[in-house]
Structure 1
Amino acid sequence: MKQTDPSTLPGEGPADGRAVVTGEEAGKVAFAAFVGTALEWYDYFLFGTAAALVFNRLFFTSLDPTAATLAAFATFGVGFAARPLGAVLFGWLGDRIGRRPALLITVVAIGVATGLIGFLPTHASIGLAAPALLVLLRLLQGVAVGGEWGGAVTLAVEHAPPGKRGRYAALPQVGSPVGTLLSSGAFALVLLLPEESFDAWGWRLPFLAAFPMLLVAVYIRRRVEESPLFDELLRHDDRAKVPALEVFRTAWLPLLVAMASALLGIGGFYLLTTFMISYGADTLGLDRGLMVNATLVAAVAEIAVILVMGRLAERLGPGRVTMWGGLASALFAFPLFWLIETENPVVVVLAVTAGIAVVSVAYAVTGALLTELFPARLRYSGVALAYNLAGALTGFLPALATALLDAGGGASWPVALLMVGLSLITLVGGVLGGRMRVTDPVATA
């Protein structure tokens, strides 16, 4: 239920009698953002796990093992390359028509694309058409995800009570580890099947599960109200005609800073999940189930880290939290690989868990930091573009890491060095982002 709050401070929400939402309604909106984002990341992460375990063998069978893995990871990266297009498209829709309709379309698109992957014939059945169709559906996934996350955090933040943006912006971030839990858990279950059954039909089940999950997400999102800040933009007709173009023209510096601050949370995460599964199973000879289960344990720890860091961001600021997260990740990069190379199952699980937890410090506050870098009239587009351009730059990191590993004769130090580079870029993004906060304009009655 909406009410007026004349005591709201400038920069923290509306004022002068403008309609705002209650804490209860804000919680409902944040939960709806979380549910939809969890489904989006379930679908998206599912592809990453399948790229490491299935697609290289069933869709790229005409290639040698290393080339097949590279091709599967390249297909995985195609989704990232498509995400900026989704950011432009849904950013326009979210900044011109509304945050709510944009988020309804994104969740339907990715759910349908993921479910259809479960019906795809393999290379053995239809030849080169199989990987071509796989790439097409991955492109659709990428376009949809390109508009999802930016809209989810924008909607959550713009409903947040004064001074509590950090915790509400963190809730959509929790969708990432929950999506990991669901996708890794689904694959952990089907990996229990005999190998023949897994290859024949078992791997399809997690993809087909996207259909019933989609129905739940749509039901919840339809019950969400539009952002009060967007309603205010409509009332004053203060909307950008081409939001993405205006972001590049007038907010290019915040865009670059936002991209830098988001690099580690995206690229570092995929190095520690998609690439690490392949590295552990194919290079070190560890059990595939062990590597998948390590990501499950890590996802639980990530949830706790995100919730705690979201609260901490309200005290220290998201820029400072991002800075410390980047520093910690840089320091832990080499020890992480050393621990995994012990090949001790317990140590491997602990190492992956610690690595993802450290990377998640910066990721936890990405939503809070990015939404503070753009004004409301450009926020959906600015946040989506920054996050997804960063994703496009880092989406091919599993393939790059695999190539570096192969070029180094199996030595992990080039990949660890890559992790250090990502961490330091995000550290700089956090420092600069903390000094570039944009406050929302105070409305006039």
Structure 2
Amino acid sequence: MSDTSSPDRTPTAADARRVAVGAFVGTALEWYDFFLYGTAASLVFNRLFFATDDAVVATLAAFASFAVGFAARPLGGIIFGHLGDRIGRRACLLITVVMIGIVTGLVGVLPDFADIGVAAPVLLTLLRLLQGVAVGGEWGGAITLAVEHAPPEKRGRYAAMPQIGSPVGTLLSSGAFLLVALLPPEDFDSWGWRLPFLAAFPLVAVALWLRRRVEESPLFDRLLAEDARASAPVREVITGAWPGLLVGAGSALLGVGGFYLATTFVISYATGDLDLPRPLVLGATLVAAVVEIGVLVIGGRLAERFGAARVTVLGGVASAVVALPMFWLLDTRNAAAVVFGVTLGVAMLSIPYAVSGDLLARLFPARLRYSGIALAANLAGIVSGFVPLVATAVLAAAGGGSWAPGLLLVGIALITVVSGMVAPRLYVPEGELSLEDSRPTAPREA
């Protein structure tokens, strides 16, 4: 629960930094766990949990279980969005980070198909569902807390901090799998792949310690003191703020759905259809993640200067331009070209992802913000979860032609471009974003 002793307190720079670090560490764990499953779906689950003689069917089944996590995310957004706007942002973030870590660790001790038969994929899918519920409430709360503590002139960089958790999560998950992939195949299949999942147990302890040091949002404290909370925030978002919900989801689509196409699907495509070595492809995602960190930092600064919407449009256009060249580089099977192609694609789609939190926070008033951000992000997420599945299907329909998933990425990018163009028309007044800036209105982006 919130500390309501000082509802009008103004966050200090130290408060903002502490919240940003707590948000970053929590989302890093969140995406480590979530990306870990995506990588395992490409390399492990399709063989050990979804046993079938047809490799394509097994991969589709593994990606379908991957998509279940995204399908469950709106439920998490509804549950934790409601609680976050009613009882507080901080309490919800403590619950979600613990839930994510425990569920992921349990995957590491789950018997496979050879041990317990059909129960293995059923239990795996159930754990993925629970993981999706927790993730559905995690990111929206982290963004809300970071934005509501941030100084107005530095809001872009603080809103980008939770986003940096994404490439760090990729580095941790891909790095972990890169290490265990060096084991002999029989050791990798029997116990090696489990180690990255089991690492979630100690990681969640660290994240929980940091999250407990974070104070409640001062804006929520004021809403609580003034009894100005929404009685049914999720319903109000859906019935009264639905334009922001749709535009927010569209603006976030490239950063999530495009990313899974450029990583999860590409890992499957490169190691399967192109028969490239697993260490090479995983190494390419590591290089891309390192570059992405720099792009996210720069993107946050650009948002402060040019506005989140303009940066979103820029990133969407850039991603559409490089979508097909990314796959052409992969198809060369040249190691340097593969690394450059994956890095290029991820870097461009990371531009709108850098400012996604800032943009979404501007679409919803404080009393609805946790619910609004969570629902918009998870609406994008539920579509994104099926992107690797759709990309696999269109690749097969095109006879293995990589132009098909390339055009899918172009389409996703254009949806984000249009959403970025519309978003400024729906922004809430500037004074709704933090207590440090109580101006009733502010100019909207052109």
Alignment-derived partner of residue 307 in structure 2? 317
Alignment-derived partner of residue 132 in structure 1? 122
Alignment-derived partner of residue 269 in structure 1? 259
Q: Displacement, 1:77?
A: 0.4
* CA RMSD across the alignment: 1.3
Asked if 1:423 corresponds to 2:413, the answer is yes
What CA distance in whole angstroms lies between the structure 2 residues aligned with 1:98 and 1:18?
16
Alignment-derived partner of residue 33 in structure 2? 43
Aligned pair partner of 2:389 in 368, 387, 399: 399
Asked if 1:190 corresponds to 2:190, the answer is no
What secondary structure sits across from 1:238 in the alignment? coil
Alignment of 1:152-163 (within 5 A): 152-163=142-153
Asked if 1:84 corresponds to 2:74, the answer is yes
> Could you list the per-position Cα deviations for residues 11-43 of structure 1 after superposition, in whole angstroms to 9, with x for gaps in the alignment?
xxx9xx932111121001100000000001000
Q: Displacement, 1:433?
A: 1.0
What CA distance in whole angstroms lies between the structure 2 residues aligned with 1:270 and 1:332?
16
Aligned pair partner of 2:139 in 134, 140, 149: 149
> Could you list the per-position Cα deviations for residues 131-150 of structure 1 after superposition, in whole angstroms to 9, with x for gaps in the alignment?
00000000000000000000
Unaligned runs of 5+ in 2: 1-5, 433-437, 441-446
1:339 partner amino acid: L
2:22 partner amino acid: A
Q: Displacement, 1:241?
A: 1.2
Does the 8 Å contact 1:374/1:383 carry over to 2? yes
Does the 8 Å contact 1:320/1:434 carry over to 2? no
Aligned pair partner of 2:166 in 176, 187, 212: 176
Alignment-derived partner of residue 195 in structure 2? 205
Alignment of 1:238-387 (within 5 A): 238-387=228-377
What CA distance in whole angstroms lies between the structure 2 residues aligned with 1:304 and 1:435?
30
What is the percent sequence identity of the aligned residues? 65
What CA distance in whole angstroms lies between the structure 2 residues aligned with 1:63 and 1:408?
22
What CA distance in whole angstroms lies between the structure 1 residues aligned with 2:75 and 2:142?
17
What CA distance in whole angstroms lies between the structure 2 residues aligned with 1:236 and 1:443?
19
2:252 partner amino acid: A
Total equivalences in the alignment = 429
> Could you list the per-position Cα deviations for residues 40-93 of structure 1 after superposition, in whole angstroms to 9, with x for gaps in the alignment?
100000000000000000001135110000000000000000000000000011
Alignment-derived partner of residue 106 in structure 1? 96
What CA distance in whole angstroms lies between the structure 2 residues aligned with 1:303 and 1:205?
25
Q: Displacement, 1:422?
A: 0.4
What CA distance in whole angstroms lies between the structure 2 residues aligned with 1:323 and 1:307?
17
Q: Displacement, 1:169?
A: 0.2
Cα gap change, 1:63 to 1:379, in 2 (>3 Å): farther
2:398 partner amino acid: G
When structure 1 is superposed on structure 2, of 54-63 and 114-123 the one drifting more is 54-63
> Could you list the per-position Cα deviations for residues 112-139 of structure 1 after superposition, in whole angstroms to 9, with x for gaps in the alignment?
0000000000000000000000000000
Q: Displacement, 1:419?
A: 0.5
What CA distance in whole angstroms lies between the structure 2 residues aligned with 1:263 and 1:424?
10
What secondary structure sits across from 1:434 in the alignment? helix
Q: Displacement, 1:301?
A: 0.2
What CA distance in whole angstroms lies between the structure 2 residues aligned with 1:206 and 1:236?
46
2:220 partner amino acid: F
What secondary structure sits across from 2:426 in the alignment? coil
